[in-house]
Structure 1
Amino acid sequence: MSLDAWISLTVVLAVFPLMAFSRLGPDIVLLGAVILLLTLGVIDPAQALGGFSSTGLFTVAFMYVLVASIRETGGIDLIIRFVLGRPRSESGALARLILPVASLSGFLNNTPVVATYIPAVLSWSRRLKLPAHRLLMPLSFASILGGTITLFGTSTNLVVHGLLVERYPDLAMGLFDLAWVGLPVALLGLLYLIVVAPHLLPSRRGTASAFENPREFTIEMEVDPAGPLVDRTVEEAGLRHLRELFLVEIERDGNVVSVVGPGERLKGGDRLVFAGTSDGAVELQQIRGLVPSRHGESSLEKEYKERRLVEAVVSDQCQFVGKSIRDGHFRTLYGAAVLAVCRGGERVAGNLGQVRLQPADVLLLEARPPFIERHRQSRDFLLISQVNGQARPKHEKAWLAWSILAGVVALATTGVMSMMNAAMLGAVLVLVTGCCSVGAAKRGLDTQVLLTIAASFGLGAALESSGAAATLAGLALGLADGNPWLLLIGSYLLVAMLTELVTNNAAAVITFPVVMASAESLGVSPMPFVVAVMFAASASFITPIGYQTNLMVHGPGGYRFGDFLRVGGLLNVLTAVVALTLIPLVWGF
């Protein structure tokens, strides 16, 4: 191999462990790798920036706007209220949940679908007296399976199809071509989730049980009207820097002061709510002017318009991962107070301020009402939902948003417009008709995914132009002994393994030139290999970190790493067997 090929291969091999095991986001890692290759002269500026002009990338971006319109108008909530109902058995509940989710995920990005469903499922499971962990993992897996049915189903399908069209313009696929394989894969996978998966899931406690009793993680005191703390600020009263406790809120005359600042002045009869350990009660009793609360009902069990109790799932990109809540100044940064932390279905005991956050931790927060909208699209949180919050009311424009999406699908299916043009037209229409505001559209764009896709193109170009892809293809052919079946299986397994460690888009785009070079060297059609890359990149069931929706349900469901391996491992094998059997029958070598 040439020096450029060795450099390209070294950089690519370094990228995968960095994305899998470092706290750097995949977009940062991949952009850094592209900059390094550009600096070393392995690729030129046109190749480095080629991803930003990809039709697949722009199609994904426009689809994000369409999905934002469905979400903003309450279109998904409308379906949730219609389909969940009151089933009589667990299998009936699973069917009512996963069949609509899989159908929606064939046309919408599955992350907002799952994000909208999770709060509804938590509330629904309480009404059914069914543990939430029996439903949340199937919810995530069903959304992944549904994404394999159409080209719109996942961003990976759109991006890989864009690469295919650039390389072989005459091999463009129709919107529903994948359904020949995707539909059998999805149906068998959903049947597995209803019949087999419940027997493999052990009993787990979720956040609902961990957070159900506020008295377990809060202490309430009152300001003695005749005591020395009256008219003192929180700072002057010594309540700002307690060792074991945080002052969360002040209940005063039927109202509440949430996320209390150090300059707030105390009044006689104020009811102070502290979060922390029971040992902290001793510290409070030593402060003159504070007496135990005489009220029976906990302040957190009351509803106030000035505050919200929300659950937030910590992202692996959160700047607080590895930091303690107190040292990171969580309350100052987010304007929200942490009441409790749930990890693996259990509330984290001990000094709350010293808890070091981990990915998939679920935080019970007290915040002001604007917090939810302000941080809903934050990279620090995978999911933010109001505790016991009701689904938003039906919006009068939900039907219009769904109609625009249906029109986009019809235009792309009939070939009147390309998928990118149809998605672009749909994005313009939802903005013009008011189904989605410009601000909501901006928030709906997942810039990390878009940058990851664009940067992946640069690495793929480096492998191809340097000759590294051809060399790797030669090694793959040698291992497969020139057998297209073995090469197809090997390609599928490679992408499926990488997608469990890094993002599915990066795994697909970086391996694409190697797989295509292998097919070309063998002199067979590239189509079976293209479709195998699409399905393998989506088959992310065995780890919570392999796919974002898995990480979203990991905390609220109280799952452990082994739960995904136990349930998802068999599902991975099932989807691989079905896909690898059908792909060559539909797209021959």
Structure 2
Amino acid sequence: MTWEMVFVLFTVGCMMCGLFFEIARPALIIFLTLTFFTITGIITPQEAAQGFSNQAMLTIAMLFIIAGTIKKSGIIDRLITNLLNSHDSTQKALLKMIIPFSGFSAFLNNTPIVITLTPVIRNWCEANKISPSKFLIPLSYATILGGTITLIGTSTNLIVNELMLKEGWQGFSIFTLSIIGLPITILGIIYLITIGHRILPNHKVMTEMVKEKYREYLGEVLIDKGCPLTHCTINEAGLRNLKGIYFISIIRGNERITPIKSTTIIKPGDRLIFTGDLSTISEIQNIKGIHLETNTCPPLDELKTNKTKLVEAVVSHHSSLLHKKIKDTQFRAKYDCAVIAVHRSNERIKSKIGDIVLKPGDTLLLITGPDFQKSGIEHDFYVMTHVSQNVYTKSDRKKGWISISIFFIMLSLVSFHVVSMFTAVLITTTLLLLFRIITPSEVKQYIQFNVLMIIACSLGIGTALSTTGTAQWIANKLVLLIEPFGVIAMLVTVYIITNIFTEFITNNAAAVIMFPIIIEISNQVQIDPFSLAVIVTIAASASFITPIGYQTNLIVYGPGGYTFKDYIKVGIPLSFLVMVTTILVVYVTWI
């Protein structure tokens, strides 16, 4: 081994540890790794920048726009509402849900689909007294499986296809992967509505748990007439940085003031509602004119008004809040809301709200003001509650159907090799803008820049593995170890390594890191490189065992009240089923 190979292996290992332990946002960790390789001369600036102009990455960006346009039309909401019937059994309702949306995911990015459907399914489950935990993991898994059916089903498919074309190999057609995607999707759906349905837990969701035991979450302080804090602002009264407690609302007669701002004036007779640890409230109990009320705090629903709502939100992988204390984020001012509770792995974090350091997948129960939806929340949270009743006009639905029609006309042209995939999505996006179905500001909102950053930087890291000979060294060791056991053992090994990577880093990074390795394996062993590329493509998408490996798994993690163990119990059998099916189909078709 050369020093460059040792250096690359060490740096990539550190990157993977950073991603696994979530020390920073994934996009930042991967970007810093690419920067480090560039500064140290492992790759040239030109090689580092290649990923940012990659055609597949631009295709993915435009597919985000198309999916977002269809999502905003309300067509998906209406479809799931019509499909779910209150008289259906749980299994029948589950089947009616996951079949169409695994189909949708074959052509649309599954992240907006899951974001849209989660609150709809939650509401339906609540109305029918069914645990959402029976539905939300199947929703995520079904959309992941559906994404393996076509070239545009996931960003991973497009990235691997672009890497194949760059090597001079034959790429995927739009339906090449269907020979594997369809069988694993059908088998996966059968598993989810039979064995998986029985394994899935019956968890209560965060909102229910807080409502049932609201006195464990909320306390009340009464301001008497003689209190020296009257006519002071919250900030002047020193109530912003109290140890252990966090004020979220003021009840003033029939008025509810939520969230409390620093400039809010305290008046005699105010009831200040707080969340936090009662044992730490001694520092304000000694203030004259303040009384701590026990067992008088109003139920959670009484804090709501026409302008305020109770909202559940999941901290996203790319949130600007990650690894920061809530009190350091100017939460109230930035989002016009107050945090009532934070749950992680279906357990309440019992410490002062302001001191909680946020991580991906944390579920926040918020009481929101009227400006909550205008505060740019979509980049920091997956909102799992309908903040307001969505009313979609005929114009919205018309625009949605126009978008779908244009998109599928373009896909038909791709299928008959009239235009390339890039050209098709470029034309579709241009027409959506020309017909004013979307606005330029919405385009910016729909593009998931963090995903594009991960893809672009991962391509540069893949180049580092290849140019330094690190990929060849890894391939040599794998061939030496596995070749005596035959071709199937090699396919299984490639699949398992890729799948482990995707469970703990990201699907796109896993595919890009594995690609130069399979090139070297195909050079040393008589295996069609196309078959290895297919294995990597499917394995990189088939993330079922952890909530952190795939965005949709993280989205449903908190709202379903799941624990890490739930993903392991339900995901391992499905992962095994998908792996066996994939290996058999690849072996019969391409080996």
Q: Which residue of 1 aligns with 2:532?
A: 529
Query: For 1:31-110, what aligned pairs fall within 5 Å after superposition?
Result: 31-110=31-110
Q: TM-score, normalised by structure 1?
A: 0.91
Separation in 1 of the partners of 2:168 and 2:178? 21
Q: Is 2:263 aligned against 1:263?
A: yes
Q: Which residue of 1 aligns with 2:305?
A: 304
Report the aligned-residue RMSD: 2.9
Q: Which residue of 2 aligns with 1:576?
A: 579
Q: Is 2:551 aligned against 1:548?
A: yes
Alpha-carbon contact 1:330-1:336 (below 8 Å) kept? yes
Separation in 2 of the partners of 1:108 and 1:301? 40
Query: For 1:19-38, what aligned pairs fall within 5 Å after superposition?
Result: 19-38=19-38
Task: Give how far 1:418 is off.
Answer: 0.7
Task: Give how far 1:294 is off.
Answer: 12
Whichever residue aligns with residue 308 of structure 1, its letter is K
Q: Which residue of 1 aligns with 2:459?
A: 457
Q: TM-score, normalised by structure 2?
A: 0.90
Q: Which residue of 2 aligns with 1:313?
A: 314
Range with greater deviation from structure 2 (104-113 or 31-40): 31-40
Q: Which residue of 1 aligns with 2:183?
A: 184
Per-residue displacement from partner, 1:402-442 (whole Å, max 9, x unpaired)?
Answer: 22332232222222211111111111222222322222211
Alpha-carbon contact 1:372-1:384 (below 8 Å) kept? no
Whichever residue aligns with residue 502 of structure 2, its letter is T
Separation in 2 of the partners of 1:82 and 1:387? 18
Cα separation, partners in 2 of 1:222 and 1:432, compared to 1, 3 Å: farther
Q: Which residue of 2 aligns with 1:408?
A: 410
Cα separation, partners in 2 of 1:2 and 1:281, compared to 1, 3 Å: closer
Alpha-carbon contact 1:457-1:509 (below 8 Å) kept? yes
Range with greater deviation from structure 2 (353-362 or 158-167): 353-362
Task: Give how far 1:510 is off.
Answer: 1.4
Alpha-carbon contact 2:247-2:274 (below 8 Å) kept? yes
Query: For 1:503-514, what aligned pairs fall within 5 Å after superposition?
Result: 503-514=506-517
Task: Give how far 1:127 is off.
Answer: 1.2
Task: Give how far 1:563 is off.
Answer: 1.3
Task: Give how far 1:137 is off.
Answer: 1.3
Q: Which residue of 2 aligns with 1:175?
A: 174
For the residue of structure 2 that corresponds to 1:176, the secondary structure is coil
Cα separation, partners in 2 of 1:12 and 1:344, compared to 1, 3 Å: closer
Whichever residue aligns with residue 401 of structure 1, its letter is S
Alpha-carbon contact 1:133-1:558 (below 8 Å) kept? yes
Cα separation, partners in 2 of 1:582 and 1:233, compared to 1, 3 Å: same
Whichever residue aligns with residue 410 of structure 1, its letter is S
Whichever residue aligns with residue 586 of structure 2, its letter is I
Separation in 1 of the partners of 2:560 and 2:40? 46
Q: Which residue of 2 aligns with 1:197?
A: 196
Cα separation, partners in 2 of 1:43 and 1:349, compared to 1, 3 Å: closer
Q: Which runs of 5+ in 1 are unaligned?
A: none
Whichever residue aligns with residue 338 of structure 1, its letter is V
Whichever residue aligns with residue 199 of structure 2, its letter is L
Q: Which residue of 2 aligns with 1:276?
A: 276
Separation in 1 of the partners of 2:151 and 2:91? 30
Per-residue displacement from partner, 1:26-45 (whole Å, max 9, x unpaired)?
Answer: 32232223233333333223
For the residue of structure 2 that corresponds to 1:260, the secondary structure is coil
Range with greater deviation from structure 2 (335-344 or 421-430): 335-344
Q: Which residue of 2 aligns with 1:485?
A: 488
2:520 to 503, 508, 517: 517
Q: Which runs of 5+ in 2 are unaligned?
A: none
For the residue of structure 2 that corresponds to 1:310, the secondary structure is strand
Cα separation, partners in 2 of 1:298 and 1:41, compared to 1, 3 Å: closer
Separation in 2 of the partners of 1:144 and 1:101? 10
Cα separation, partners in 2 of 1:54 and 1:553, compared to 1, 3 Å: same
Alpha-carbon contact 1:230-1:266 (below 8 Å) kept? yes
Task: Give how far 1:447 is off.
Answer: 1.4
Per-residue displacement from partner, 1:289-338 (whole Å, max 9, x unpaired)?
Answer: 66969999647436534333221212355565555444665435544211
Range with greater deviation from structure 2 (62-71 or 523-532): 523-532
Cα separation, partners in 2 of 1:187 and 1:198, compared to 1, 3 Å: same
How many residues end up aligned between the 2 structures?
A: 585
Alpha-carbon contact 1:207-1:556 (below 8 Å) kept? yes
Separation in 2 of the partners of 1:291 and 1:45? 62
Cα separation, partners in 2 of 1:452 and 1:348, compared to 1, 3 Å: closer
Q: Which residue of 2 aligns with 1:369?
A: 370
Cα separation, partners in 2 of 1:370 and 1:334, compared to 1, 3 Å: closer
Cα separation, partners in 2 of 1:442 and 1:387, compared to 1, 3 Å: closer
For the residue of structure 2 that corresponds to 1:441, the secondary structure is helix
Per-residue displacement from partner, 1:109-162 (whole Å, max 9, x unpaired)?
Answer: 111111111111111111121111111111111111111111111100011111
Per-residue displacement from partner, 1:188-246 (whole Å, max 9, x unpaired)?
Answer: 00110100012223443321322324455233456556876553333445544443433
Whichever residue aligns with residue 513 of structure 2, its letter is I
Aligned-pair identity (%): 34
Alpha-carbon contact 2:403-2:432 (below 8 Å) kept? yes
For the residue of structure 2 that corresponds to 1:275, the secondary structure is strand
Task: Give how far 1:13 is off.
Answer: 3.3
For the residue of structure 2 that corresponds to 1:211, the secondary structure is helix
Separation in 2 of the partners of 1:81 and 1:24? 38
Q: Which residue of 2 aligns with 1:431?
A: 433
Cα separation, partners in 2 of 1:459 and 1:289, compared to 1, 3 Å: closer
Q: Which residue of 2 aligns with 1:150?
A: 150
Q: Which residue of 2 aligns with 1:217?
A: 217
Cα separation, partners in 2 of 1:24 and 1:270, compared to 1, 3 Å: closer
Cα separation, partners in 2 of 1:5 and 1:549, compared to 1, 3 Å: same
For the residue of structure 1 that corresponds to 2:24, the secondary structure is coil
Range with greater deviation from structure 2 (552-561 or 538-547): 552-561
Separation in 2 of the partners of 1:7 and 1:343? 36
Per-residue displacement from partner, 1:156-175 (whole Å, max 9, x unpaired)?
Answer: 00111111122225x13221
Q: Which residue of 2 aligns with 1:497?
A: 500
Separation in 2 of the partners of 1:371 and 1:66? 25
Cα separation, partners in 2 of 1:431 and 1:255, compared to 1, 3 Å: farther
Task: Give how far 1:251 is off.
Answer: 4.3
Range with greater deviation from structure 2 (572-581 or 95-104): 95-104
Q: Is 2:424 aligned against 1:422?
A: yes
Per-residue displacement from partner, 1:17-74 (whole Å, max 9, x unpaired)?
Answer: 2322242233223222323333333322322222122221111111011111112222
Cα separation, partners in 2 of 1:172 and 1:322, compared to 1, 3 Å: closer
Per-residue displacement from partner, 1:520-556 (whole Å, max 9, x unpaired)?
Answer: 3334422211111110001111111111211222222
Cα separation, partners in 2 of 1:349 and 1:455, compared to 1, 3 Å: closer
For the residue of structure 2 that corresponds to 1:377, the secondary structure is helix
For the residue of structure 1 that corresponds to 2:313, the secondary structure is strand
Cα separation, partners in 2 of 1:192 and 1:287, compared to 1, 3 Å: farther
Separation in 2 of the partners of 1:74 and 1:307? 24
Task: Give how far 1:275 is off.
Answer: 2.6
Task: Give how far 1:286 is off.
Answer: 5.7
Alpha-carbon contact 1:210-1:345 (below 8 Å) kept? no
